[in-house]
Amino acid sequence: MLHAYTVEQIRAAEKPLLEAQTAPDDLMKSAAHAVFEAAGAMLRWPDTVGDFRESPKCLLLVGKGGNGGDALYAGAELALAGHAVDAWLAWGSAHEPALEAFINAGGTVLENAPEDCRDYRLAIDGLTGIGGAGGLDEQVGQVLDGLADWYVHVLAVDVPSGVNADTGECGDIHVTADATVTFGGWRRAHGLAPECGIQLLAQPSIADGRSIADELDVGASDTVLFRAVPGETPQPWPDSLDTLPADNEPLMEPGFYDDKYTGGVVGIRAGSATYPGAALLATTGAVRATPAMVRYAGSQAGEVVRGLPEVVVKQRLEDAGRVQAWVFGPGVGTDSQARGELALLLGREEPLLVDADGLTLLSTDPELRELLRGRPGETVLTPHDGECERLRDALGIDPASRWEEAQALSQALNCTVVRKGRATIVADPARDHTLVVDTGTSWAATPGSGDVLAGIMGARMAREQARWGRATLGVAQSVIIHATAAWLSAQTEYGPGPTSASKIADAIPAATAKLRILPAEPAVYRAKKSRGF
């Protein structure tokens, strides 16, 4: 299940179950059992400072609401399983039946906030959950600092406290979790907030077997989540807990009668005398992404063909030849020539990806923005947060969350916006859903990495355009491949180490193969796909 839901939708789905339950806290206890299972798995993880813990224990951070009840019932199960468990009632009270069950199971309620966290090896965050808004108070912050000082793993219930479930925005003081277990369906924050850690989905139910998922309307969801690189754990999670997956990558082998053109030709306009490396990085990303032809146009034609002899190069954009999609912007500069070239491409029908300097030109030139709004072909913009904010300000859009701003830019400019980051957001005015990719790691945060992504995405846009006539179908998958390549490029025989954009580009074929989850399609399907049907 990939669809994400708002807090309002989740609460509406819970309501009939809460009304129908025949035993007190039936649904809460079922959810708490999932928390218990996740906690049990985490307690088997290696403990970095275990030798310094005299009496290893678990700590429950308990709020007044339902999440506090979940934590207490889970704590009761942990206590009955033989674990020492403390509970801190952060605001003085808690869900009474759950608190009673916790005490009866042998749990200890702390009179004051814990000052020495040395003996805690796992903390369960049940402070606020999806109902929280804004940051947490200073006393909670001091406890969180103490847990961090002693390398305590944290399991959050529903959403880490201090993180907005609908937007992923964090308050000044918030929980950062190693894993988060949620119920029924994903929340947007599970893709938007890396503070969630490894995302886990459970399906609690009431006595008649009905679950929250049974009450959710998939058609009402406006966000779909993916995770590129899975969270690494020493052991698998229990079978009752689902993790947030990537998307399957279909086989990239050309069809029986494909040639270098039918797979979709991409044109790259990148690089300059000031930034020559951008040309090679973007073009390498494109070459590694698909088996089809790549054309390059620009002043670095000689450097590109020396590094990549399979690329067809020209000095001038006008001489590049026919393509199914263009990439414009990495390292081209912002002078009058670059402005003229962007205007030329905005006036053509081929799908166009605009990145880097191209985005700067759009943010400073109202005429180019008008050309963008009215162009006949599909357009993809790939801003990082700073570029997104400049476009937002140029358009007079009010500051909001990353998710909301990506939506607003997409609507205002009538194009697909790929807001890059650890959580990458794909907003498209022609789609019913916004796509969110938790890249899973931050290894892509290195110079030139965005140029490589532009090449990958442009090549795949050309492929989708040639196959299906819709260039933006695989935009999110390009993000997943790039993130996976970044992770692979950082792996060494001794563990992960620093990587670079060139290494990321070289890892693209391996990343593409790694993401192939499903078995090979039947030959009849592959033949049909190669014909573009």
Tens digit of each residue's pLDDT (9 = 90 or more) over 102-114: 999 999 999 999 9
Q: By CB neighbour count within 10 A (0-12 exposed, 13-18 middle, 19+ buried), where does 242 fall?
A: middle
**Hey, which residues does 108 pair with through a beta bridge?**
86
Residue 248: per-residue pLDDT:
78
pLDDT at 533: 45
Q: Is 451 annotated as a binding residue?
A: yes
User: Which of 17, 21, 19 has the alpha carbon at shortest distance from 211?
Assistant: 17
Quick: pLDDT tens for 354-412. Answer: 999 999 999 999 999 999 999 989 999 999 999 999 999 999 999 999 999 999 999 99
pLDDT digits (tens, 9 = 90+) for 241-266: 999 988 777 777 887 788 888 899 99
Q: Supply the pLDDT for residue 253.
A: 80
Strand 325-328 and strand 266-269: the pairing is parallel
| Residue 384 labelled as part of a binding site | yes
Residues 352/325, Cβ–Cβ less than 8 Å: yes
357 is in an annotated binding site: no
User: 363 vs 528, which has greater pLDDT?
Assistant: 363
Mean of all residue pLDDT scores within the chain: 94
Please, what's the b/e burial string for 317-337 (b: 16 or more CB within 10 A of its CB; e: otherwise)? beebeebbbbbbbbbbbbeee
pLDDT at residue 525, as a whole number: 60
| Residue 392 marked in a binding site | no
Res 8 pLDDT > 90: yes
How is residue 126 written in tokens? 């049940």
Q: What is the DSSP string of 437-454?
A: EE-S--TT-STTHHHHHH
Lowest mean pLDDT among 242-246, 296-300, 347-351, 489-493: 242-246
Sign of CA dihedral 42, 153, 113, 55: positive
Q: Which fold has domain 2-221?
A: Rossmann fold (3.40.50)
Query: Domain-by-domain residue ranges, the chain?
Result: 2-221, 266-417+445-473
Tell me whether residue 20 is annotated as binding. Answer: no
CB 248 within 8 A of CB 515: yes
Q: pLDDT value at position 247?
A: 79
Is the pLDDT at 526 greater than 60? The verdict is no
| pLDDT score for 523 | 64
Nearest residue to 201 (alpha-carbon basis) of 55, 28, 2, 453: 2
pLDDT (tens digit per residue) in 47-67: 999 999 999 999 999 999 999
pLDDT 10s digits, 84-131: 999 999 999 999 999 999 999 999 999 999 999 999 999 999 999 787
pLDDT at 135 over 90: no
Mean pLDDT value across residues 170-175: 96
421 is in an annotated binding site: yes
Number of H helices, E strands in the chain: 19, 22
Instruction: Give the per-residue pLDDT at 234.
Output: 87
> Average pLDDT in the 224-238 region?
93
CA distance 32 to 39: 10
- Please state the three-class secondary structure of 383-420 as a single string: CCHHHHHHHHHHHCCCCCCHHHHHHHHHHHHCCEEEEC
CATH 3.40.1190.20 matches 266-417+445-473: yes
319 is in an annotated binding site: no
Establish whether 278 is an annotated binding residue.
yes
**How large is the average pLDDT for residues 493-516?**
96
Per-residue pLDDT at 327 exceeds 60: yes
Q: Tell me, what's the pLDDT at 474?
A: 87
